[in-house]
């Protein structure tokens, strides 16, 4: 349920209303937007007398929210959410470019790629330290050492770092990580999501291999229900019957998610296609469709990458993507 507040309402009046609603056992979310202040209510709102609420002097209107996602709902928070991450932010008018290797392999590798992607225009560095691999015999990542190497690259380049968590027990290792990624395979690991909800970290939540947008939003809601509103959504392609691509990029997710939620939406054309030559056209399409950013895998030696070489761009190819994306953004503005 939301209550739209009349203009001219004082902070004191708003606080009194919040306290009265909290006393009825509800969670109260305040959103002071550019045009309206909205009071969002989560919990058992059946006890609330909507007519009584609407009759209050400071209340303009009251609406019930039919969707099961509340905190993530655009109706709760009409303005775009902008999430501060290190020296940059994600969402709103900012276009974020997260780039780096699928997995951190060595100090030389991650430092070289970090310098190159920064030079080319990346705003954040990615790199997997804990890798969710289909085969237990494949490289599983450098784990804690991988995070240390990312932190070294961050110290030198100033780029905030993004890396994936697979187990909530590893959270202490992520203390200096700027954005914690929840990979597609863990999108519905609800216990992990609940633990991340107790932190204040920015969370990059990737859409599951075969999940609907509603399910993605419900997973975001798990994190937000715990008190962490810093959720970035990431479309990375879904499983279809097509085999020329690793997944099928659902570009319509961008405008749809922008309608449904205030959270930033970024696109990962690398995992969506699995093919390096398809990354640029899909990155341009995503920028044109209104994405808040991109996540692109870049490797200094794709042919010898320990993971996802076939979809990784060289630093030069990544530089070309960045300059073309910039042109698209200028045209659509």
* Residues binding Mn ion (CB under 5 A): 102, 308
Question: 40 or 128: whose CB is closer to Mn ion?
Answer: 128
Question: 11 or 191: whose CB is closer to ligand PEP?
Answer: 191
Query: Using the rule CB under 6 A, is 299 a contact of ligand PEP?
Result: no
User: How far is 148 from 142, CA to CA, in rounded Å?
Assistant: 10
Query: Using the rule CB under 6 A, is 201 a contact of ligand PEP?
Result: no
Residue of 118, 154, 201, 236 interacting with ligand PEP (CB under 6 A): 236
Query: Using the rule CB under 6 A, is 183 a contact of ligand PEP?
Result: yes
What is the closest distance, in whole angstroms, from the C-beta atom of residue 142 to Mn ion in the complex?
A: 15
Residue the block writes with tokens 């999430």: 83
Residue nearest to Mn ion (CB): 102
User: How far is 135 from 117, CA to CA, in rounded Å?
Assistant: 29
User: How far is 13 from 1, CA to CA, in rounded Å?
Assistant: 19
Region from 135-143, 167-175, 183-191, 225-233 binding ligand PEP, contact rule CB under 6 A: 183-191
Residue the block writes with tokens 């309402």: 9
- Please tell me whether residue 68 adopts helix, strand or coil conformation: coil
Query: Using the rule CB under 6 A, is 102 a contact of ligand PEP?
Result: yes
Question: 75 or 206: whose CB is closer to ligand PEP?
Answer: 206
Question: 118 or 236: whose CB is closer to ligand PEP?
Answer: 236
What is the closest distance, in whole angstroms, from the C-beta atom of residue 270 to Mn ion in the complex?
A: 7
Question: 21 or 102: whose CB is closer to Mn ion?
Answer: 102
What is the closest distance, in whole angstroms, from the C-beta atom of residue 208 to ligand PEP in the complex?
A: 9
- In this structure, the strands spanning 124-126 and 88-90 are unpaired
Of 59, 82, 14, 47, the C-alpha closest to 293 is 82
Query: Using the rule CB under 6 A, is 117 a contact of ligand PEP?
Result: no
- Please tell me whether residue 225 adopts helix, strand or coil conformation: helix
Cβ within 8 Å of residue 135, ≥6 positions away: none
What is the closest distance, in whole angstroms, from the C-beta atom of residue 224 to ligand PEP in the complex?
A: 20
User: How far is 71 from 305, CA to CA, in rounded Å?
Assistant: 40
Measure Cα distances from 190 to 18, 77, 157, 163, 265 in Å.
29, 24, 34, 19, 21
Question: 102 or 165: whose CB is closer to Mn ion?
Answer: 102
């Amino acid at each position: 349920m939301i209550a739209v507040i009349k203009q001219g309402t004082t902070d004191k009046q708003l606080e009194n209303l919040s306290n009265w609603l909290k006393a009825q056992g509800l969670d109260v979310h305040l959103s002071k937007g550019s045009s309206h202040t909205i009071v969002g209510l989560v919990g058992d709102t059946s006890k609330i007398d909507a007519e009584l609420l609407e009759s209050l002097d400071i209340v303009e209107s009251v609406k019930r929210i039919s969707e099961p996602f509340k905190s993530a709902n655009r109706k709760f928070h009409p303005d775009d959410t902008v999430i501060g991450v290190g020296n940059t932010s994600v969402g709103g008018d900012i276009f974020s470019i997260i780039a780096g290797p699928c997995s951190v392999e060595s100090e030389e590798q991650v430092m070289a790629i970090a310098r190159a992607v920064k030079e080319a225009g990346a705003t954040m560095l990615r790199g997997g330290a804990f890798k969710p691999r289909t085969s237990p015999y494949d490289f599983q990542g450098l784990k804690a050492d991988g995070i240390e190497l990312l932190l070294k690259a961050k110290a030198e380049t100033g780029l905030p770092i993004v890396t994936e968590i697979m187990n909530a027990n590893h959270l202490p290792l992520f203390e200096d990580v700027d954005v914690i990624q929840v990979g597609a395979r863990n999108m519905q690991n609800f216990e992990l999501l609940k633990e991340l909800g107790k932190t204040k970290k920015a969370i990059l939540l990737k859409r599951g291999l075969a999940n609907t947008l509603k399910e993605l939003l419900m997973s975001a809601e798990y994190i937000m229900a715990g008190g962490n509103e810093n959720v970035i959504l990431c479309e990375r392609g879904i499983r279809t019957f097509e085999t020329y691509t690793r997944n099928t990029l659902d570009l319509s997710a961008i405008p749809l998610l922008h309608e449904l939620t205030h959270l930033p939406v970024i696109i990962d054309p690398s995992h969506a296609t699995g093919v390096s030559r398809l990354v640029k056209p899909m990155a341009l399409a995503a920028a044109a469709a209104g994405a808040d950013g991109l996540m692109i895998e870049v490797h200094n030696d794709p042919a010898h990458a320990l993971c996802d070489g076939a979809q990784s761009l060289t630093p030069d190819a990544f530089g070309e993507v960045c300059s073309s994306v910039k042109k698209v953004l200028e045209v659509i503005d």
